[in-house]
Amino acid sequence: MRPDQAQLDKYGIRGTSVWSRPEGNQLAEITKLIEAGKIKPIVSQVLPLTDAVKAVQQAETHHTRGKLVLKIAEEPPR
């Protein structure tokens, strides 16, 4: 889904859709862009892995803005 140009203009920002396949080199490049602050992913929900079916059902509605993230484990304290 392409970003709404009127909304982008309203806030003075630029937006685009990024499509990739889960290939290591593409994911590594996207990670670099995120870490450099050049792109900002939109995460709509973070769900536990046990809710994977729910996440798939939500994604299939095509009414989710951003990404659905499945949380596999708790992050260790830093």
What pTM was computed for the model?
A: 0.53
- H or E element that contains 43: strand 43-48
Contacts 24+ apart (CB under 8 A), 4-8: none
* 13-32 tens-digit pLDDT: 888 777 767 788 888 998 99
Residue with token string 């939109």: 42
* C-alpha radius of gyration, the chain, whole number: 15
pLDDT at residue 60, rounded to an integer = 86
* 33-78 tens-digit pLDDT: 999 999 888 899 999 999 999 988 988 888 888 889 999 887 777 7
Report how far residue 5's alpha carbon sits from residue 12's, in angstroms, rounded to the nearest whole number: 10
Q: What 3-state class would DSSP assign to 69?
A: strand
